[in-house]
A and B are shown apart, each in its own frame.
Chain A
């Protein structure tokens, strides 16, 4: 044996073209965004649209800059609620998906419940929970958890059912226990699907935690301040907090996107 045995390994794609692709992917939307802002500023300036209807971007940025500390603390409150909800929803989603994948009767019990949860509108639930739990952040976290639960459950359950039948056969020939099978092949196969679910859930968690603040409960979060500012006609202020909400949602999305990418990195291709 020796030399004639060493086939050349598969070489990855060129890094240069990949980098060029990424640059394009980042630059294009940034360019569109900047052009949009310029157009907005121009429209407000040229046509003299009153700041009552639509404040100029410069006014919004000035307000965001001035009230940065307040915005930051508001974003922390909403961000924390979203994160708590996302984590709780993910844990519940994975747990119930594992249950549904493990037994047919559990699946028959859990699936209709999830379908019911999926169609509950947040707006319908928020006022009720706010009244039930009074002046705590719990209703917001619960609503964010509910919203996160569904995509994580659906995606994880799908992942748990993707196990390669050949690997199942292999584990059977090893006389592996059900626990060993779960941790050796079923769960690792499902992990990328879990993270896809978390990515889908991340923006939902932020939106839900934020919108839930519109329906009463303690003030201080981004959503609460947006509704107060809008109600008292402080439009640049309201828009500044909307801007912060967008940034918060993006941060959640990008973080979970990164997690998903890390989870997928070592398993780009299924073994042939």
Chain B
């Protein structure tokens, strides 16, 4: 299922020839709860190009996680069209086109680190030898080669999160979906993990859709930052980060003026001051809450 790039689309795909990684067109999501209907997403259109790092940022309840869950086929949209590599999200999930990491590491506590990383390979019946080789490679990549035989409860939170990231990369996915994967980590670990993630992305040239509520995190990691506003969840603005390319970014960027400029741009957009696109008057009072400015 392919959808044409409609006028409502926020940005055109940079590479017209390549198929888009994620294409959302006027996507709606309404949850029916016992206390009535909740409009989680309203008229969301977004195109993510292959190899691009896109962050979704916004206050709690802006639907950023919901949008990611729609892409992952963990929820179905109630309106509009959504395609992943030109396929339906269901097809893309069955084809294992994406890897995913959640805010909680979500490791199986009764399995060793190696067996956790190898879980998707085991489920998809890859041979034991292939699996062993790939798991060793992944653990090396996330710096946990010495911890292969440990159980998750013997690791710190940051190490557990690295195991989850290694697991999400196990099948060399073209698309990586990450829902606040560093949300529960302390600031030091978090910055280290961000640098680490950029390195891994440069190595694997995967497309990343990254959900966060931290402005510096979004700015540091992304090619584009999608600012969302709540009730109903919608895209307020898409901001291009004119920073270095992924593999050139280092910790020095965190002290660069361009970095602070971009943080300011995203913050102002979140507070509804830049007045572009879909930013609503009502968003002005409510958007700032729940977003970290640190």
Known: A267-B110, A271-B105, A271-B106. A10 touches B154 (CB 8 A): yes
| Contact residues, B153-168 vs A (CB, 8 A) | 153-160, 162
Complexed CA–CA distance, A184 and B107 (Å): 12
Partner of A271, one of B96, B142, B160, B184: B160
| A32 at interface by CB-CB < 8 Å | no
Output the nearest chain A residue to B102 by Cβ-Cβ distance. Answer: A166
- CB nearest to A12 among chain B residues: B154
Binds A, one of B18-26, B28-36, B126-134, B143-151: B143-151
Given A170-B100, A172-B74, A272-B184, do A10 and B155 touch, yes or no (CB 8 Å)? Answer: yes
Q: Given the complex, which residues of B lie within 8 Å of A6, measured CB to CB?
A: 143, 146
Q: Does B58 contact A (CB under 8 A)?
A: no
Q: Contacts A7-B158, A9-B156: A173 and B110 contacting too (C-beta < 8 A)?
A: no
The answer to whether B109 has its CB under 8 Å from any CB of chain A is yes
In the bound complex, do residue A188 and residue B124 qualify as a contact, i.e. CB atoms below 8 Å apart? no
Give 1 or 0 for each of A168-203: 1 = CB within 8 Å of chain B CB.
Answer: 011111111000100011001000000000000000
Chain B nearest CB from A23 CB (Å) reads 26
Task: Tell me the minimal C-beta distance from B82 to chain A in angstroms.
Answer: 16
**Which of B109, B147, B158, B192 touches A270 (beta carbons < 8 Å)?**
B109
Residue A164 at the chain B interface, CB threshold 8 Å: yes
Q: A269 near B: Cβ within 8 Å?
A: yes
Q: A9 near B150 (CB under 8 angstroms)? A: yes
Q: How far is the CB of A178 from chain B (nearest CB, A)?
A: 13
B contact residues, range: 35 or more
Distance between Cα atoms of A10 and B142 in the complex (Å):
18
- Complex contact A271–B74 (CB within 8 A): no
Determine if A170 and B106 form an interchain contact, defined as CB atoms under 8 angstroms apart: yes
Q: How far is the CB of B116 from chain A (nearest CB, A)?
A: 8
Contact partners of A10 in chain B: CB under 8 A: 153-156
The yes or no answer to A13 lying at the interface (CB within 8 A) is no
Check: B108 CB closer than 8 A to any chain A CB: yes
Q: Does A31 count as interface, using CB distance less than 8 angstroms?
A: no
Task: Known A175-B93, A175-B96; judge A7-B102 contact (CB<8 A).
Answer: no
Chain B residue numbers with a CB within 8 Å of A128 are none
A32 CB, min distance to chain B CBs, angstroms: 36
Is B59 interfacial (CB 8 A cutoff)?
no
Q: Is A20 part of the binding interface, using a Cβ–Cβ cutoff of 8 Å? A: no
Is A167 close to B, CB under 8 A? yes
Q: Is the CB of B124 within 8 A of A174?
A: yes
Q: Are B158 and A188 in contact (CB under 8 A)?
A: no
Answer yes or no: B51 CB below 8 A from chain A CBs: no
Q: Does A266 contact B (CB under 8 A)?
A: yes
| Interface contact A271-B196, CB-CB below 8 Å | no
The interface residues of chain B lying within 8 Å CB-to-CB of A267 are 109-110, 153
**Contact residues of B with A, CB < 8 Å?**
72-74, 93-94, 96, 98, 100, 102, 104-110, 119-120, 123-124, 142-144, 146-147, 150-160, 162, 184, 189, 192, 196, 199
If A166-B106, A185-B108, A267-B110 are given as contacts, then 7 extra A-B residue pairs at C-beta distance below 8 Å, sorted by A number, are A6-B143, A7-B159, A167-B106, A172-B74, A173-B93, A174-B124, A271-B153
Across the A-B interface, give the 9 residue pairs with the lowest CB-CB distance, nearest first. A5-B143, A271-B107, A269-B153, A166-B106, A7-B156, A271-B152, A271-B109, A267-B109, A267-B110
Interface residue ranges, A against B (CB under 8 Å): 1-2, 4-10, 164, 166-167, 169-176, 180, 184-185, 188, 266-272
A-B contact pairs, 25 of them (CB 8 A): A5-B142, A6-B143, A6-B146, A7-B156, A7-B159, A7-B189, A9-B147, A9-B155, A9-B159, A164-B106, A166-B106, A167-B108, A171-B123, A173-B93, A175-B94, A185-B108, A266-B110, A266-B151, A267-B110, A268-B109, A271-B105, A271-B107, A271-B160, A272-B104, A272-B157
